Structures are given as structure tokens and as C-alpha cells.
Structure 1
Amino acid sequence: MAAWSSRKLLKEVLLRRVSSNPPLPRFRCFSTSAPESAPKISHHSKKGRLLTGATIGIVIAGGAYVSTVDEATFCGWLFSATKLVNPFFALLDAEFAHTLAVSAAARGWVPREKRVDPPIIGLEVWGRKFSNPVGLAAGFDKNAEAVDGLLGMGFGFVEVGSVTPVPQDGNPKPRIFRLRQEGAIINRCGFNSQGIVAVAKRLGAQHGKRKLDETSSSSRTSNNDVKHGGKAGPGILGVNLGKNKTSEDAAADYVQGVHTLSQYADYLVINVSSPNTPGLRMLQGRKQLKDLVKKIQAARDEMQWGDEGPPPLLVKIAPDLSKDDLEDIAAVAVALNLDGLIISNTTISRPDTVSSNPLASEAGGLSGKPLFDLSTNILKQMYMLTRGKIPLIGCGGISSGEDAYKKIRSGATLVQLYTAFAYGGPALIPQIKAELAECLERDGFKSILEAVGADCR
């Protein structure tokens, strides 16, 4: 049964890929050669897909033992097994590996963490209770296909998107390039999205199912227990909004996203910092950002909300900003009572650590380890400019609990990762959380909030 399920998943993904994008790229996703006249898969790529299918099948088949061992122990075994499975994804075309990973998570074919997070890393932000501050950044689950599976891996929150009003394919392929030795990725996807209607249907169905499960469940959480989570059930769900490439009215695009998707979101993000949509980063200017945020806040606030109120509104900014740019953004954020900032998106710069890599010349945004110092420095500056009044999400280059801890000490209340997850797989999440708890205890902090901005005081 497990082998059949694995073959079925691979077949579905391959058929979808061939039908929507006839020329399949060769094994090295960064190839600049002209596409073949007919779809072909290299020998190495075939082997990689067979190995991946087989290893996924082995992991799934292991579920037969769940009735004979403690569930938390079994899930621990699965997380350990992903350390063996994940390297095989490096044999695949980068975008195909991503599609396969999202499909597996959407079907629940991933390890689910059963161990409870240490209380020291739990916190409350915007009236939402986070079991831990480690989130998955936007870009992985662009179309809200795998929210439950990803939260089940142990993320404290998951951010889907970027979602555009109208479906669009994004930039031509290849558009994702692995810099393995540097632990980095360059992408120029360009907001490839199924659009807000498709995402709204998916989130609405998920939301309805969760509500039904909650009302029909006989095992309710007692009033004495601390219940973490939000509209996504056990975790917090963020929705990242983008604009269409050909749209002339950016504000209208974001407002449409708010009207359609905010009812399913625990927080909303205005993405004005992707380097892969022409003109988008110009919206980070003082006047442009102020006008944009005011229109989106008005659209959100005019909607009817229950006791929990409207979802918090955040802005995601770039790391390639001058001091004056940062001062302008901070001034707008404080003046308009913005609920938070995400710092940061990918960088168009190429730090010395990657400059010698042949792929460094590829256009697009760089993420991963080489971004850590740049994004953390911007984070620290923004924390001081806003005087710690606005919750910040630190994103960029996190690959360990120590990295997450440095972001928190630099002003982040929450943290996000993506590239390290692509390389390290599900096993990385419990590892980061355990290391983060150790860092806090080592330095005498009793909670995450006590450590926020410790290096800025």
C-alpha cells in the first residue's frame, strides 16, 4: 500500500508538471541551454525520483508499527528517518523537489511531532498564543496546500503565499538555483500563484473541516489548559499577499487579497520586497508605503469582525535598504500603528561568501546562510528605530537554534526560516527548538520575550 501511494504521488506530480510545463528541465536546474523539443528526464534525475519514491514509501510503511510503540517515540524515529531521506531530494530538479515536498506535506505523508514544546519557548503575540516562535516563511506553501501537514511538523506558525489576485505562472524556468556548499538558494519565481480564489476555497474548506472536528470531538481542551493556536487549529496561520506583475494599481490588488483571505488568517503580510516583480520594491518609499498601508488598513477595518478583532497587518521589507530607507519605514510603521514587520526578504546583493560561485551571477533573490548577517543587522537597526514598540519577525539565514536566538537578541519576537528547511528537512525543526530552549536557559532568560532585543539595550 505504501509503495502504491508513493508511486501514485510521483505519477500525479509528474503528470501535472508535464501538462502545465511541457519542457522538463534537465537534472541541473541552473542549465542555460535551450529546452529540448520533447520532454526528457536525465538519467540522474530518474534515479533521484526512484530513490525518493522508495524512501518515502519506506517511511510511510513504518506507520504499521505505530500501534506497537509510544506515539511520541515513533514520531521521533520518523524525524530521524527524514535525515536519511532528504539528501535524495538534492538529486532532483529544485522546483520538482519543492513540488514533491509540498505534495507529500499536503497528503500528510510527513512526520508529525507529538512531543510538547518546552514552556520556555511559548509566547503570546497579538493576542495569539504561539507554542514556539519558529515559523515557516512564505514561498514554500504558496497556495495553502499543506498547512496542516506543515504545522504538524512542529512549526509554531506557517505563512502561505505570496498570493496574487489573478493566477499567474511567474517567471520562465529554470528559476530556482541551489548553492549547496554555501547553504543558499537563488530564486526568481516571480509570484507564481494559483490566485486568491483558489487559495480562499482551500483555506475555507480546511477551516470548515477544523470547525466540524472541534464541535464533534469528545475530547475538549479543559479550561485550565493553555490552548495554543489560531484559525489554523494547532498553530498560527499567516497569509502573505502580493500583487500581479501586470497590475497598475498595487493597492487594489492588496485590498482584494484582504477582502478575500483575511477571514482565514491569524495575521496578514503585505509583501512589497520581492526583487522578482518589477517595481514592487518602490512601494517601500515613505510616501508610497504610507499611502498603501492606510488603504489596506481601511479595507481591513471596514470588515465585520468578532471578539478577536481583525487580523494583525505586517509589512515584509527587503534587506537592501539604506539607513534613510529604514528610518522612513520605521516612521511609517510607528505613525500608522503597524502590527509588525518581517525582516527580511531575499537580497539582490551577493556577499563575499557566494561571489565565487558560478551561480552567483544568476538574477534573483539570494536566501540562506549568506543572508544571515545582512538581515540580522537590518533587524537590529529596525528594532532600535522603532524603539521595540513593534513586533518584528526575524527571517534570513536561520539554520540552527543559536541562529534563531541571535535573531531574538537582535530584536525579533518571532523567527522564520525556509532555505535551511529545504536542505535539512523536517528533522531540523525539533532540533532548532531544542537548541533555542537551551540558549535561553544558558543565559538565564525565563521566556522568549525577556530575550527580545537583549543585544540592542
Structure 2
Amino acid sequence: MFFYKVAQKVMFQMDPEIAHNIAIGSLKNTGNNPLNLFYSQKVASAPVTCMGINFKNPVGLAAGLDKDGESIDAFHAMGFGHIEVGTVTPRPQPGNEQPRLFRLKPAKAIINRMGFNNKGVDNLVRNLMAKKSDIIVGVNIGKNKDTPVDEGKNDYLICMEKVYQYSDYIAVNISSPNTPGLRTLQYGELLDDLLSSLKEKQTELAKKYNKYVPIALKIAPDLTSEEIEKIAESLLKSKFDGAIATNTTLTRDAVVGLDNANEAGGLSGKPLTDLSTQVIRQLAGYLNGEIPIIGVGGINSAEDALAKFDVGSELVQIYTGFIYQGPGLINDIVNAYKAK
């Protein structure tokens, strides 16, 4: 898209977070008016059923770009098959101190330590109610920074209850590296307790609203084979509906020596490609087709997406690759998916 390349050149001269805020604001204001012609596009139909939901195509927008669900209709106009909003927490929070977002252009990568900055779940619900498009929307939920890890379950349950009737699926984020202690929820009894509590709440809410909303667990890439196996066992035991693999990585091997490479936070983009695909392959082996996987991490081309499908993903999501490549990446992936 010519317009995107022009806009990208301008945006890449700005501080990354300022550019992000300008972009989200512009999309919010143009999603439902003729100005969306600058980024709207027709994307071929490539239906996929995953977690019992019928998606128009297998390409979604990963969580983190539209944290507060302000630009859902604009992303629908771009042709995404679904959008995952959030991560949202029960109470508004500012996130970590700035600067907290860094480009690594030579590596087509980004490092972020945002820290779940968002306007709170009540604000998100208002935006979900106001959207006009029928795009599939997943809501990514998390815990507030000042909530102790051993009480974190309550934050997830609060968010789940509030977004349930307005969501098509719910993603449970226990894998961000930017909230202290959060990743400890990926292990052992803490994980089992969280998953079983969420499934109990799901049963309760499904009866209340006469609507079954699937829930998926988003995991980190920085896991051993044994840890992946144990997560898979927990998912199967709790009869979870889906898994999202993966979040950002703390490793820096692929970006040593680059500007900003030593900044704290999660690394996303091209350097994550192979690591996330490897985790998906292992997770798929342990899940044995019983629980679907949404593949995310380092998708910068149609080939990257096909690799995720080949190892067991039923859907894919893009974020950093979308920033570097633009909306054309959606069409590239969908067309390659249809041709495979």
C-alpha cells in the first residue's frame, strides 16, 4: 500500500510511542467514514473454524496494538479476520515509565516494556458496545501491577465477568515479561488453580448469558520442553478452549550489537520467528489436536505464517510484522493460505 509506506516514513521519524498514539487516534476517527479508503482493502474469503468460532480468514491482529479497543472498525476495514484487544486490567493503570517502546529497524523488531498501560476494563466495555463492525473480537485480560501474584486470579475473574457478553473469545495473558512475577502463573499449582477458576466462571457466565465464550491461554516463548509439556497437561486437564503461542521474548541473541538491543522488555518481530514456531511445534505435539493453537511471533511474511500453520497453528496473529510491512501483509498471508 503506497499510502502506508508514506505514512510509515513519517511515523518512523517520531518517537515510537508518540507515533503509536497518533496512529490509533487517526484510525479511531476514520474507521467508519470515507477517509478509511486510505487503508481499507478487500481480502479474499478463507473461512476457518477455530474454538467453535467461524473466522472469515485466519489472520488476526495480536493484542497490544489496540489496547483499549478504540479502533476496532478501522482494523476491520483493513481485512483482518479477527482483532484481539487489550491487554486490559480491572483498574486503569499508566504502565511503566517512558521511554518504554524501542524500534530495532535492521532486525525488523521492537522491544517494549509498556507494562499493561490501559484505561481499564469498564472503558474497554464501552468501546466494545460502540463498535459497528461484525469482526470477531477477542479480549486479552491481565492483572493490575499492584495486585499480588497470589491474588492475581481475582483480577482475571473480574475482567472475564465484565467483558464476557461483549467478547467472541477471551485471551488470558500470563506471559508478559513486563509485569513483575506474572510469568510465574505459567507453572504448577498457580496455573492449575487459575485455569480451573476461569473454567468455573465460564460455566457460570455461559448460563447467565446463554452464550459460550471460549477462553485461550497466551504463553511465553522462553520455556523449556518440560515446561511446555506441563502447560499442555494443565490445558488438557482443565479443558481449556485454546492456546496462543507466543508472547515476546527476553532473549537477545539475534540482536546483539544493535541500537536499543540492551533495553529491558520483551522483544518481538523477526528475531522471534523461529523461537515461537518451535514452541508451537512442541505445544501442538503435546496437545495432540485436542486444543487449537493461535500462532503469533515474528510473522513478517506469508512464508513465516505458513511455517506456523505447518507446525500446528489454526490461526495466526500479526503485530510487529504489521508495523513494518503494513496492511498488505494480511492479503499476502491469506492468499498464501488459500494456495497451500
Under a length normalisation based on structure 2, what TM-score does the superposition of the two structures give?
A: 0.94
Matched, 1:84 2:6: yes
Moved over 4 A (4+): 304-308
Higher relative contact order (CA 8 A, sep 6+): 2
1:208-245 per-residue CA deviation (whole Å, 9 max, x = no partner) reads: xx4xxxxxxxxxxxxxxxxxxxxx51x21000001000
Relative distance call for 1:174 and 1:414 in structure 2 (3 A) is same
Amino acid aligned to 1:168: Q
Correspondent of 2:280 among 365, 379, 403: 379
Partner of 1:159: 84
Relative distance call for 1:194 and 1:408 in structure 2 (3 A) is same
1:282-321 per-residue CA deviation (whole Å, 9 max, x = no partner) reads: 0000211110011112122112558973210110000001
How do 1:206-245 residues align onto structure 2 when only pairs under 5 Å count? 206=131, 210=132, 233=134, 235-245=135-145
Q: Contact between 1:397 and 1:420, CA under 8 Å: does it hold in 2?
A: yes
Separation in 2, partners of 1:263, 1:187: 31
Partner of 1:183: 108
Separation in 1, partners of 2:282, 2:314: 15
Q: Which moved more, 1:105-114 or 1:396-405?
A: 105-114
- How far residue 428 of structure 1 moved from its aligned partner, in angstroms, is 2.6
Correspondent of 2:303 among 397, 402, 409: 402
Matched, 1:310 2:237: no
Separation in 1, partners of 2:176, 2:207: 30
Q: Which moved more, 1:153-162 or 1:196-205?
A: 196-205
Structure 1: gaps (5+ residues): 1-78, 211-231, 441-457
Amino acid aligned to 1:185: I
Separation in 1, partners of 2:208, 2:88: 25
SS of equivalent to 2:205:
coil
Correspondent of 1:421 among 322, 325, 332: 322
Relative distance call for 1:152 and 1:376 in structure 2 (3 A) is same
- How far residue 362 of structure 1 moved from its aligned partner, in angstroms, is 0.6
Q: Contact between 2:39 and 2:327, CA under 8 Å: does it hold in 1?
A: no
Relative distance call for 1:430 and 1:421 in structure 2 (3 A) is same
Q: Contact between 1:82 and 1:427, CA under 8 Å: does it hold in 2?
A: no
Amino acid aligned to 1:258: M
How do 1:38-117 residues align onto structure 2 when only pairs under 5 Å count? 79-107=1-29, 108=31, 109-110=35-36, 111=38, 113=40, 115-117=42-44
Under a length normalisation based on structure 1, what TM-score does the superposition of the two structures give?
A: 0.70
Separation in 1, partners of 2:207, 2:322: 35
- How far residue 188 of structure 1 moved from its aligned partner, in angstroms, is 0.2
Separation in 1, partners of 2:82, 2:208: 22
Matched, 1:258 2:185: no
Q: Percent identity?
A: 43
Separation in 1, partners of 2:77, 2:28: 11
Q: Contact between 1:86 and 1:424, CA under 8 Å: does it hold in 2?
A: no
Q: Contact between 2:268 and 2:298, CA under 8 Å: does it hold in 1?
A: yes
Q: Contact between 1:175 and 1:189, CA under 8 Å: does it hold in 2?
A: yes
Amino acid aligned to 2:245: I
Q: Which structure carries more strand by proportion?
A: 2
- How far residue 123 of structure 1 moved from its aligned partner, in angstroms, is 1.2
1:10-33 per-residue CA deviation (whole Å, 9 max, x = no partner) reads: xxxxxxxxxxxxxxxxxxxxxxxx
**Aligned residues: CA RMSD:** 1.6
Partner of 2:185: 283
Matched, 1:436 2:337: yes
Separation in 2, partners of 1:311, 1:427: 30
Matched, 1:339 2:241: yes
Amino acid aligned to 2:8: N
SS of equivalent to 1:342:
strand
1:353-412 per-residue CA deviation (whole Å, 9 max, x = no partner) reads: 311213111100000000000010000000001112110010000011111111000110
Matched, 1:132 2:32: no
Amino acid aligned to 2:259: P
Separation in 1, partners of 2:320, 2:123: 26
